[in-house]
Amino acid sequence: MDARMKWDSDDMIRGFSQEEPSARKKVYEAVTGLAAPGIVPLMEILCSSDPKVKTLAETALFDLCVHARNEGDRSLRKVLSKLQWALRKGPSVESRVLAAELMGVFDESRKGKRYLRRSLRRAEREQDFRMADAARCALFRMGEAVNS
Amino acid sequence: MQGRERREGNVKRVDRSRREFLKTALGGAVGLTLLSGRGRSFSPNERIVVGHVGVGGMGNSHVKWFAGMKDVDIAAICDVDRSHLADTMAQLKERRPDCRVKGYTDFRRLIERKDIDVITCATPDHWHALVAIHAFDAGKDVYGEKPLSHNLAEGQAMLRAMEKNQRLFQLGTQIHAGDNYHRVVELVRSGALGKIEKVTIWKEMGPSDIGYPVQQPVPAGLDWDLWLGPAPYTEYNPKRCHFTFRYFLDYSGGTYADFWCHIADIVFWALEPTGLKSVEARGERAWDSASDAPAWLEADFEFENLTLHWRPSIPDLPGAEGKGIGACFHGSKGSLICDYGSRQIRLGKEVIQDLPDVPQCVPRSPGHQRNFLDCVKNRNLPESHLAYARQMTLPMHLGLVSWRLRRKIFWDCHQERCIGDEMANRLLSRPGRTPWMLG
């Protein structure tokens, strides 16, 4: 399993839905090593109906960010840029909620605050309570208390 | 007692620095007179009115224990699951037909009752802090299950609320009251083992066995939104709920968080480790289930005066065989291995259970719940009070953060912040879902 190979969401679904736990583990480790190129396909499979795929996609996103951060600033910056995309245009509520959470934890430069504020305003306007809570929590982590 | 004593009205107060307070607290000393605060004061023969929050698992033991106390009236029981509530109410009616008990599904309604003096809390971990803080603010003392809180910041908030309201808290580490732990403390403190600079603690961690359950409709009678409370919203899944919640980081921290307090207790009691400097954890999530908590985790904690090692399996140490949970104190003259109910001392080639020359100097407990109720009346510090419980639980939380970030964490024990690691600092807390944010 090569972290440099190109992965799309179908590859990840196939890898994560394998029966053998050790095979899933190998795919998981490769995916979390992908850094920024792994974000979009992982966001796309968050709503999978297969609980194995859904669970692994959720935790892989966090671990991918950890991996990128431990690799260095450059790698993390690229990941954060993809998370900003997910926050604005993520394919589902799940993906946007998770992007907010990850930015809250990993955006050391706090550049994502602008995107989070915008997401919060939009979520409140559209009465998307789940997204509003996620954005509020992320902003809180970044040191900004937001009234609900 | 150190510090300057002064009188405020009819209560005795002692001025001490926080450092002095913790020093005494960690020593497990008793005798500190607290303000009676907003709660009522008791004469020794008066009855204490108790309300129980969370009765799905351990909460039933709370009800049983407190119902067995002659000076306790149980006035209220609360659970977000009506089936749990009905079962426990029925059991209590059998045990104590005299109790006029009312059921609630929202703990806030129970806590707002002015006639209740004491709350016990056996909810899932992610509710421990909020229930306790609500209770403190309402002038009630709390007997709360372990672990103390879901995350480190919640423990800090609990302590602030308790001190502000001058309330009492006892952590439900029942083993603390047992004779074996008392004797281990005496033996370790006696110096018979020489200088102790290293302790290994362990708990066998096995698979969660929860598989990959699919989401389901919320069962009738369960208030799923209230069950989730401060945790992120998710659709109902039976494995995320009762009993197996602890395998999900949104609510707990797996077997590691579940058992830490039980065995770390003996180390913190006997040695009072101070000046935590760093934490480094390694581990793995489960590959055969939806659990995201560590399936296994090992961690090394460096204190000023001690290194503490947590292991997820029985270590290869003489005397550890067959002990699924335990602690080994490594001294310069010998070692002591113990679990909840047994101990073994090794001095050279000699293997013994006790050292008769070491005097019995730690006062024995009248029982963990009895001790708490006595303290509610006399306002002394309970055996496992909050300041002590928080110091003991804090390294556990840092172990989880280090595991999640896959790196060593350096800790400033005075500021209670990770040094040069903003991400780690952000994981010390978890902002709650509206309206359940900590103040």
> For residue A116, is it within any domain?
yes
Beta strands B325-331 and B196-203 are antiparallel
B36-176+367-385 carries CATH number 3.40.718.10 = no
What topology is assigned to B178-211+224-363+394-426 in CATH? Answer: Dihydrodipicolinate Reductase; domain 2 (3.30.360)
> For residue A147, is it within any domain?
no
Interchain CB distance below 8 Å, B285 and A140? no
**Of the candidates B288, B407, B426, which has its C-beta nearest A141's C-beta?**
B426
**Of the candidates A51, A59, A70, which has its C-beta nearest B285's C-beta?**
A59
> For residue A135, is it within any domain?
yes
Phi first, then psi: give them for residue B5, nearest 5 degrees: -90, 140
B426, B427, B428, B429, best to mutate vs chain A, most A CBs in 10 Å: B426
- Angle between the N-to-C axes of helices A113-125 and A129-141, in degrees from 0 to 180, rounded to the nearest 10: 150
Residue of A nearest to B428 (CA): A141
A62 interface with B at CB cutoff 8 Å = yes
Per-residue pLDDT of chain B (439 residues; tens, 9 = 90+): 333 333 333 333 333 344 443 444 444 444 444 545 556 778 778 999 999 999 999 999 999 999 999 999 999 999 999 999 999 999 999 999 988 999 999 999 999 999 999 999 999 999 999 999 999 999 999 999 999 999 999 999 999 999 999 999 999 999 999 999 999 999 999 999 999 999 999 999 987 889 999 999 999 999 999 999 999 999 999 999 999 999 999 999 999 999 999 999 999 999 999 999 999 999 999 999 999 999 999 999 999 999 999 999 999 999 999 999 999 999 999 999 999 999 999 999 999 999 999 999 999 999 999 999 999 999 999 999 999 999 999 999 999 999 999 999 999 999 999 999 999 999 999 999 999 988 6
Domain coverage including residue A37: 9-141
Interchain CB distance below 8 Å, B212 and A52? yes
A29 interface with B at CB cutoff 8 Å = no
Residues near B19 by beta carbon (within 8 Å), at least 6 away in sequence: none
SS (H, E, C) B290-308: CCCCEEEEEEEEECCCCEE
A59, A73, A116, A146, best to mutate vs chain B, most B CBs in 10 Å: A59
B232 interface with A at CB cutoff 8 Å = yes
User: Where residue A131 sits, what CATH number does that domain have?
Assistant: 1.25.40
A148 interface with B at CB cutoff 8 Å = yes
Dist CA B355 CA B343 (whole Å): 11
Dist CA A35 CA A46 (whole Å): 17
Enumerate the domain spans of chain B.
36-176+367-385, 178-211+224-363+394-426
- With H, G, I as helix, E, B as strand and everything else as coil, classify residue B46: coil
H or E stretch at B347: strand B343-347
Distance from CA of B46 to the nearest CA of A (A): 44
Q: Tell me how far CA of residue B297 lies from CA of A36, B205, B257, in angstroms.
A: 28, 8, 10
A133 interface with B at CB cutoff 8 Å = yes
Measured from the Cβ of residue B219, the count of other Cβ atoms closer than 10 Å reads: 13
Return the pLDDT at B22. Answer: 44
In angstroms and rounded to an integer, the radius of gyration of the C-alpha atoms of chain A is: 15
In B353-433 the beta strands, taken as DSSP E runs, fall at 409-412, 417-418
Residue tagged 């991918």 (tokens): A64
Contacts of B426 in chain A (CB under 8 A): 104-105, 141-142
Distance from CA of B405 to the nearest CA of A (A): 6
**Of the candidates B214, B233, B288, which has its C-beta nearest A130's C-beta?**
B233
Residue of B nearest to A24 (CA): B287
B367 sits in the region (left: phi over 0; alpha: psi -120 to 50; else beta) called: left
DSSP string, B84-108: HHHHHHHHHHHH-TT---EEESSHH
> For residue A4, is it within any domain?
no
Q: Tell me how far CA of residue B118 lies from CA of B132, B168, B263, in angstroms.
A: 10, 9, 27
A141 interface with B at CB cutoff 8 Å = yes
For residue B76, how many C-alpha atoms fall within 13 Å in the half-sphere facing its CB?
Answer: 23
Interchain CB distance below 8 Å, B431 and A136? yes
Distance from CA of A5 to the nearest CA of B (A): 23
> For residue A125, is it within any domain?
yes
pLDDT tens, position by position, A78-136: 999 999 999 999 999 999 999 999 999 999 888 899 999 999 999 999 999 999 999 99
Q: Which amino acid is at B415?
A: Q
- Do the Cβ atoms of A61 and A69 come closer than 8 Å? no
- Angle between the N-to-C axes of helices A51-71 and A9-16, in degrees from 0 to 180, rounded to the nearest 10: 110
Contacts of B214 in chain A (CB under 8 A): 51
Q: How many domains does chain A have?
A: 1
Contacts of A51 in chain B (CB under 8 A): 212-214, 290
**What residues does A99 pair with on adjacent strands?**
none
Distance from CA of A131 to the nearest CA of B (A): 10
Return the pLDDT at B438. Answer: 85
- The pTM of the full predicted model, rounded to 2 decimals, is 0.92
Interchain CB distance below 8 Å, A62 and B404? yes
A29, A47, A56, A96, best to mutate vs chain B, most B CBs in 10 Å: A56
Cis previous bond, B435, omega within 30: yes
> For residue A1, is it within any domain?
no
